[in-house]
Structure formats: C-alpha cells, structure tokens
Amino acid sequence: MTSTDLTQTDPFAWFNTWMAEAEISEPADPNAMTVVTVGPGGKPSARIVLLKGVDPRGFVFYTNTHSRKGGELGTNPLTSLLFYWKSLGRQIRIEGRAEAVTPAEADAYYATRARISRLGAWASDQSRPLPERAELERRLAHFDEKYPGEAVPRPPHWSGYRVLPERFEFWQNMPYRLHDRTIFERTSDGFWARGKLFP
C-alpha cells in the first residue's frame, strides 16, 4: 500500500502496513515516536517514546504518570504523535486526545518488562532533579532488596496512555520535494474523511 492508494479508507490499516514495512527496513526501534504535550502557558514539550500497542481505539505507550508528560496530559489531554522512518522516506502525524489505559492493561504490559526495568519504575522520580547518578543507583539497590525475585509489583504512579486519534497525515517523500500527503479526519458520525494536501 502506498500513499497513492485510492481505495484505502481506514487509516489504521494504512498505519499497520507502513509499520510492518518499517519493522523490516529500520535498523532500530521502528516503533519510536515523538509525543508532544502542552504545558502551562501553552508551552509545547516533545520527547521520543516507544509505541507499545495499537488497536482500533488508538496508540498506547507507558510511562511514569508523575513525569512531565504525565502531568501535562493530566491537565491537557490533547496531544500529537509523530513517526518518522528515514529508510522509507515516510512520516505519520497523528493528532488526538490521550486517556489512561485500564489498570489491567498496565499490569499486563508491566509484567512483560525486564526485572531491572520494573525496579527502575520504583527507583526513578522521572523528570525530577537528580543530584548525582549514585542516588539513582542507591534507590535501585533499595528496591532490588525490597522486591527480591521476579515478583515486582507495578507502582501506582506507573501506567499508560492511549491516544485516540482525530486526524492522521501520511507523508511520503517524493522527488524534487513534490511530496505526497494524505490526511484522514474523523467526522462527527465516527467515520474517516480522506483528503490530500499540497506538499
């Protein structure tokens, strides 16, 4: 499927096709995406996170909810995602609203993480000042002792967000900067309206 496929009306199917191709061509982390949030005074903030799930509802990632992005999403759930695959000359922009995943979803994903990562979720006060690296290592050692073995519970402040899209833009690099841009926007009746943009 290319961005000139005139039969495709489901942006999720288009996304899944492009992601599958990126998983073959990208050397590392094809599921890396930029997440943009808005803080006090309308100041934007962006960072790279990893997509951990996609379904017909939206796009899921996990984090410390006390982090900067967690705090900003708690105040203003409007967000945007950006995927960029240099090897394919493609990017996908997604705009929507973030909502919390269920505790069961967070538990299920948390259980798949390496033990050291689960301990790190307890040890790290994400986005807060760290006086020295040794402090993180001390906290990690504390929780390693507190939770021996594989039974490391999920911290109450560690969960996930699902971005419910309202708009997609599929961008395909073309010669001479005459790029192809296809957009999908959700209509009031829940369907997707498709269109094109000038490059």
Is 97 among the catalytic positions?
no
Residue spans of alpha helices (H) in 26-159: 68-75, 103-110, 115-123, 133-146
Residue 102 DSSP class: P
Pairwise CA distance, residues 125 & 109, whole Å: 20
Catalytic residue among 90, 93, 177, 186: 177
Cα–Cα distances in Å, from 26 out to 2, 23, 54? Answer: 17, 6, 19
Pairwise CA distance, residues 143 & 166, whole Å: 41
Q: Which residues are catalytic?
A: 177
